[in-house]
Amino acid sequence: MALELEEAFGAAGEFGGGQRRLTACLVLLQVYVACQSMLIVLVGAAPEYRIDQEEIPFSRAELAKHIHFADNFTSIVTEWYLIEKEAYKVNLASSLFFAGLLIGNITFGPLSDKLGRKPVYISGLFFDVVFGYVTALAPNYDIFAISRFFVGIVNGGMALVSFVLTQEYVGKSFWSFTGSLTNLMFAVGIAVYALLGYCVREWRYLALVSNTPGIIFFLLSFMLPESPRWLYSQGKTAEAEHVLQYIALGNGKERLNLKLKPTAATLRKGESAPGILNLVKHPVLRWRTVILMYIWYVCSFVYYGLTLNAGELRGNLYLNVALYGLVEVPAFPLCMFFIEKSWSGRRRTMTSFLVFAGFACMFSMFLPTNAGLFFSPTLLALCGKMMVSAAFNIVYIYTSELYPTVLRNAGLGVCSMSCRFGGVLAPFVPSMKSLGPSVPFMVFGISGLSAGFLTLLLPETLNKPVAESVEDLQIPKYQMLKNKKVNQSEENT
């Protein structure tokens, strides 16, 4: 008897040993991704310094004779003297990395939808490691900055594809778990990077040590099979059945007689695969994409905005970097609890987190800066940041479920691209204090509230089937339910 894909996942085993081994490699990969993303925080750190003459020397050789750095670590600042008029180059290298992320997000998604998850992921990881070593061995600032741009492209694209691949190795009922675990490991990776930085004070050695685990993950990735969902969406049912058999054997099941139903998305001869333009052509996908792009943009915008307005953390640099990641950790258990409950689900939970973050921005502007620890704007802003982190986690899972398999990476890529614009614009908002001290908080607050309420226009995906093809979106069970009668009838079927 032929099975639907979700039924086949159930027959292969509910997140058994085989799936745990497959997803473990991709989940742990997020530690490497986090180290690459946060590299500039320590590698570009500027220690205190003094210049033992009144006029700053124009030539680098003269500057080297008269400048004295205080701390016992090195960075690109201390090696290439990126201070005073040259200090902008540290932020420029960071901006180039994020510009690369934007390009990687928009290009790798459609590529993996057409060529397959595994080849695009492995290629991206290979070049990520290569350009990571170029960064560590860069002879001058120009090579360093260019390498960071290319690291951004391959790192952002590879991380996006690996997230989708992690989701597609398991049944839909485990997407919230694997998605949350993936994002949790990214937060842990920030803390791990801080520990590495504390132990390795030479910036080139730190870049080398942070990049080397990529080689291990690259070699392990060759043992990963292609996504069974992608194979099935392309009409390659025999290959999808083979991967599911492999997963079942890894889960300790005896060899099963798995037979998948033919997919409606099997391409006719001469018919091209769905591309990124389908996100615009299809009415349902068009409105979903517009709303999701805005939500992703706001998540990034408010997240970085709250970070900037929480006040500068003083004290140990490495402890501050670790706290920057660990403050997000409590967000993930909260997500896991709420998004699996029938009375909250994905949509209401994300709405609540975004609205809370919006109100946190609004209320923080009414609190005096000397109100004490428990009523300080900093604490309220950090609580808001945790809520935005939770919303960020949900939007990854939610977006994966709202797009059909043939366009899942393309949809995630477009949304991730809009997310990068939020990160780029957030640092400029504090300058709006010239219009009024509360204006930046109003901007972040209104953004969070508007995104939260817009989320209510999207359909709930909890306990709903995953669309494999664009044609599936025409079937009523994949669309937004209008009333309780439809809900009950679908649950009975």
Give me the helices (H) in 200-316, please. Answer: 203-211, 213-221, 228-233, 237-250, 278-281, 283-309
pLDDT band, residue 267 (cuts 50/70/90): very low
Spatial separation of the C-alpha atoms in residues 96 and 74, rounded to whole Å? 22
The distance from CA 141 to its chain's CA centroid, rounded to whole angstroms, is 28
What sign does the dihedral 488-6-110-180 (CA atoms) show?
Answer: positive
Average of per-residue pLDDT across 418-437? 74
Spatial separation of the C-alpha atoms in residues 26 and 391, rounded to whole Å? 22
Q: Which of 190, 188, 386, 427 is nearest to 304 (CA)?
A: 427
Per the model's pLDDT, the better-predicted residue between 484 and 234 turns out to be: 234
Say what the pLDDT of residue 15 is: 77
What does pTM read for this prediction? 0.80
Say what the pLDDT of residue 331 is: 85
Per the model's pLDDT, the better-predicted residue between 472 and 407 turns out to be: 407
At 349-403, the pLDDT tens digits run 999 999 999 998 888 777 665 655 556 666 777 788 889 989 988 998 899 889 9
pLDDT score of 187 more than 90? no
The strand pairing partners of 51, in sequence order, are 67
Spatial separation of the C-alpha atoms in residues 367 and 159, rounded to whole Å? 39
